[in-house]
Amino acid sequence: MRMLLLKKTSIGYMQAGASAISVLTDKNFFGGSSEDLMTARKFNFCPILRKDFTIDEYQIIEAKSIGADAILLIAAALEPKKLQELSLFAKSFGLEVLLEVHDKEEMLANMDAHADLIGVNNRSLQTFEVSISVSKEVAPFIPKDAVKVSESGISKPETIVELRQHGFEGFLMGENFMKHSEPEKAAREFVDALNKISQPATV
């Protein structure tokens, strides 16, 4: 049943217009598994991010073996030197790297992380409050050659439009859709609404 639901949801996200899929594989905190990612890989051709607490090289080798295209490295969980080493190791296997930061300080400490994408998590680690102002504050310090991704707290198409004005091109927002009984349907409706307000007015 779990695999069938994952298949339906992941395919639905892709059909809705998702440019990539994030799959949780951490078991202890989120109940995910490597099998979840392997299932998503089997039925989808879009890039897949392995969302896990990656802290060593073995996990990177594992990510490649189960079909991931990218890994997540969390600045709050790694020293800058170790993060850089893991990033370069991942690239040696052809994997892209999404570096997650929570504030300007974490971004400045990891300017040499060799990340392909920089994800700004709008959720505070201290208070768990969510505010897209975090993305806006960090945006000017993100290296120009990295894709800017805003994470958490995105539930309205208007927020996407607003964040795009600050240079953000990617948006990680699965939690918003998973609140619905049919996440893939919620994603499709969100994208449709976004396309409507993004289209320039015609005369």
At residue 130 the predicted structure's pLDDT band, cuts being 50, 70 and 90, is: very high
pLDDT, position 202: 41
Instruction: Give me the residues paired with residue 119 across strands.
Output: 100, 149
All structural domains of the chain with their residue ranges: 54-187
pLDDT, position 199: 66
pLDDT, position 31: 86
Rounded Cα gap, residues 151 and 203, in angstroms? 36
pLDDT, position 201: 45
pLDDT, position 117: 98
Kindly give the interhelix angle for 80-92 and 57-65, rounded to the nearest 10 degrees. Answer: 30
At residue 126 the predicted structure's pLDDT band, cuts being 50, 70 and 90, is: confident
pLDDT, position 203: 37
At residue 4 the predicted structure's pLDDT band, cuts being 50, 70 and 90, is: confident
Q: Tell whether the model's pLDDT for residue 100 goes beyond 80.
A: yes
Rounded Cα gap, residues 187 and 173, in angstroms? 10
Model confidence over 19-77: pLDDT tens digits?
999 999 998 888 899 999 999 999 999 999 999 999 999 999 999 999 999 999 999 99
State the fold for domain 54-187: TIM Barrel (3.20.20)
Indicate the pTM of the whole model. 0.92
Residue with tokens 């539930």: 155
Q: Give the contacts of 174 (CB within 8 A, at least 6 positions apart).
A: 22, 183
Rounded Cα gap, residues 60 and 69, in angstroms? 11
Rounded Cα gap, residues 107 and 109, in angstroms? 5
Rounded Cα gap, residues 142 and 167, in angstroms? 10
